Structure 1
């Protein structure tokens, strides 16, 4: 019987990246860890809210220790037009909801949306696309 290992920890650094990047002094590490948990909660809420948008992957959070009053959230999405389409104030609404969830009044929140290059080259976006086609019963048989 072999030892059991965590597959995510095994692949970190080679094929996958960490979910969040942040640095802290040893005295303030527990506070940073609690904030990171808040970010994960916000990430889950955003994923549930926008799960019907094709190519919406989990967002990556980044905190810069040099600017303690700034929280930067970067959203990686395959098709950003689908997020903005139909809602003019979609990003502002998203920003206010995230700010309420984090309870950070004295911090400035910056939400950036980045487009994934070659979205159909990403396996999770391709799987979402195939699942969507199967849901709407797209004919894939040869006619």
Structure 2
């Protein structure tokens, strides 16, 4: 049943961590409802913030929110004013002190939630669903996803009867538990009704035991991003080395100049004085413009191979 179950819930405790990290006891239902209310409030409060996840941690007197966003500037606001307003509003809702951390998503093209929201916005703008899906897939593969699958369901293109269409590129191994698969659902409200969007993104396989706490996941993501940046710099340095080293380009230029000048046994010579191995303008066997001694162009006796030009 790997094809049917939610891929994130299927991998909880193996390669995926929880979005809510706290112990509720008898208050578990109330805290669960409050978490959902907080997430809906943040999504509605910052609709253009490109928010993918909101991780909630609770202590006895404090709630810590980690907002994963592709646009941290919009969430933070000018001088941090937007975050301060959200803190005060959430404090009124929950009755506890609220701390907000911002985590920037460096590659939104391979985040399933952001891909789904982008497709939903395009469908609401009456862009062809096929074009929107193919653009999202090509962007994800170009950025580094190993596989992606997108499925849309509803009255596609304003058709009378609802249907489902799916596009896939690469591999998406839903049965492999160590596979890092991101999954999300989005909805597009069109004039014909709602269109559901499901996105699966396969980012690679993870080996070894992992620390699934929210803080550890953020640290791991930051270290991976630093390694990727270092690899790109090393590649750029190699390309510079290949370009700036002893390449063939300079040798070819020097050889071409030597040929034009008429090279002798030890190198190029002036135009009328071809050496033993002379080029096209003078040589031992009489080139086009002179013979062994190769006299100057207007006059002078030619060598064994020919005399001066006749005018």
Which band: TM-score by shorter chain?
0.5 to 0.7
Question: How many Å separate the matches in 2 of 1:30 and 1:6?
Answer: 29
TM, length-normalised to structure 1: 0.68
Q: Equivalent residue of 1:57, what SS?
A: strand
1:13 is matched with 13
Which residue of the other structure, out of 52, 60, 72, is the alignment partner of 1:80?
72
Q: Are residues 1:114 and 2:103 paired?
A: yes
1:49-60 maps to which residues of 2 (within 5 A)? 49-50=45-46, 52-60=47-55
Question: How many Å separate the matches in 1 of 2:9 and 2:80?
Answer: 40
**How many residues matched?**
126
1:30 is matched with 26
Larger Rg: 2
Which residue of the other structure, out of 32, 40, 43, is the alignment partner of 2:39?
43
- Residues 1:9 and 1:134: Cα distance change in structure 2 (over 3 Å): closer
Q: Which runs of 5+ in 1 are unaligned?
A: none
Residues 52 and 68 in structure 2, CA contact (< 8 A), matched pair in contact too: yes
What is the root-mean-square deviation in Å for CA atoms of aligned residues? 3.1
1:91 is matched with 83
> Which structure is higher in RCO with an 8 Å CA cutoff and minimum separation 6?
1
- Residues 1:54 and 1:91: Cα distance change in structure 2 (over 3 Å): closer
Higher strand share: 2
- Residues 1:85 and 1:9: Cα distance change in structure 2 (over 3 Å): closer
Superposition deviation, residue 88 in structure 1: 5.6
TM, length-normalised to structure 2: 0.35
Which residue of the other structure, out of 95, 110, 113, is the alignment partner of 1:124?
113
Q: Equivalent residue of 2:42, what SS?
A: helix
